[in-house]
């Protein structure tokens, strides 16, 4: 189906990263007007060029902003309204990682990861809600992680914020149902993004060839495979979905 988001306006944070960029391109392919937000200017330039090459005539507004700052949320919404006049879909995707055992974490690390992974979602949602409510059929999709449910040693701060996203999602769904705003979460599993290619110091081809042991499909997801469920939740096809968590994880085992 083509045009599943025709004439809808969407904001995607973390828009220059793997899942955010894939979501932005897929939304443009499906007729949306898309605002991509990221603090990495070089990555955003590359992603914008890729999307415009893949989707001629794409209605795309890149914004180089730091979502960890509370004031940024109002700027994003105001810029979106100025460019496109409305807002129908919000994808809270921005996230950072920290590799420390909880016994060694500092207040500075907590502040940084909470600001991006949890508070940015809250602030942007707060600023966006008046515009989302005005449409009567809006959708918020919060990107969490399988590790919201499947914790591990060494990344407790990240896992805590991802669990918090699920709680926030359900609460917002209860609060906003009467305003016509649906709120759902997506939990990606292992997703092959540029971040993981850099972190693991392997080529994309090497990672694609690896057999992943802890999921039933035994491979990494592509970013586009995660973007499709996000697209569905953003569309009117998911009009009876709210307060839900969708696991996009290839059947990851959870203890």
CB of 84 closer than 8 Å to CB of 109: no
Among 120, 144, 145, 235, the one annotated catalytic: 144
Query: 9-248 has which CATH code?
Result: 3.40.50.720
Q: Which single residue is written with the structure tokens 């443009």? A: 28
- Active-site residue 8, yes or no? no
**Crossing angle of helices 18-29 and 223-234, rounded to 10°:** 50
State the pLDDT at residue 250. 93
Q: How far apart are alpha carbons 21 and 224 in whole angstroms?
A: 9
Whether 158 is catalytic? yes
**Residue 210: band (very low, low, confident or very high) from pLDDT cuts 50, 70, 90:** confident
- Residues 81 and 131: beta-carbon distance below 8 Å: yes
Active-site residue among 8, 145, 158, 235?
A: 158
Decide if 202 contacts 212 (C-beta within 8 A).
no
Q: How many whole angstroms from its chain centre is CA 117?
A: 10
* Sequence ranges of the domains in the chain: 9-248
Q: Are 91 and 141 in contact (CB under 8 A)?
A: yes
Cβ–Cβ under 8 Å, residues 12 and 24? yes
pTM (2 d.p.) = 0.94
The secondary structure of residue 252, as a DSSP letter, is: B
Q: How confident is the model at residue 254 (pLDDT cuts 50, 70, 90)?
A: low
pLDDT at 68: 97
- Percent of the chain, pLDDT > 70? 98
Write the CB contacts of 239 (distance below 8 Å, at least 6 apart in sequence): 137, 182
Mean pLDDT of the chain: 94
Q: Which residue has the tokens 């609460």?
A: 171
pLDDT over threshold 90, residue 5: yes
Active site residue 144: yes
By CB atoms closer than 10 A (0-12, 13-18, 19+), residue 87 is buried
Q: Is the dihedral of CA 40, 150, 140, 126 positive or negative?
A: negative
Q: Is residue 43 within 8 Å of 15, Cβ to Cβ?
A: no
- Among 162, 167, 178, 228, the active-site one is 162
CB burial of residue 57 (10 Å; 0-12, 13-18, 19+):
exposed
pLDDT value of position 2: 73
Facing residues of 252 across strands?
A: 215
pLDDT above 80 (res 233): yes
């Amino acid at each position: 189906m083509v045009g599943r988001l025709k004439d809808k306006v969407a904001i995607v944070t973390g828009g220059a990263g793997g899942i955010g960029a894939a979501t932005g391109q897929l939304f443009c392919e499906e007729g949306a007007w898309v605002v991509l937000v990221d603090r990495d200017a070089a990555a955003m330039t590359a992603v914008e060029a890729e999307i415009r090459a893949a989707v001629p005539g794409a209605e795309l507004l890149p914004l180089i902003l730091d979502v960890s700052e509370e004031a940024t949320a109002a700027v994003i919404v105001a810029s979106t309204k100025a460019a496109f006049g409305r807002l129908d879909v919000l994808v809270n995707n921005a996230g950072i990682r920290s590799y420390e055992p909880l016994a060694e974490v500092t207040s500075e690390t907590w502040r940084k990861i909470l600001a991006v992974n949890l508070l940015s979602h809250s602030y942007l949602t707060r600023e966006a809600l008046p515009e989302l409510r005005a449409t009567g059929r809006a959708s918020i999709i919060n990107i969490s992680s399988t590790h919201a449910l499947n914790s591990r040693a060494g990344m407790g701060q990240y896992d805590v914020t991802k669990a918090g996203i699920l709680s926030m999602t359900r609460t917002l769904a209860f609060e906003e149902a009467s305003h016509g705003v649906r709120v759902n979460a997506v939990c990606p599993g292992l997703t092959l993004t540029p971040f993981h290619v850099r972190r693991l110091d392997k080529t994309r081809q090497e990672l694609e060839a690896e057999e992943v042991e802890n999921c039933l499909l035994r491979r990494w997801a592509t970013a586009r495979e995660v973007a499709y469920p996000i697209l569905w939740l953003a569309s009117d096809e998911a009009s009876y979905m709210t307060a839900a968590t969708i696991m996009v994880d290839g059947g990851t085992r959870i203890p």
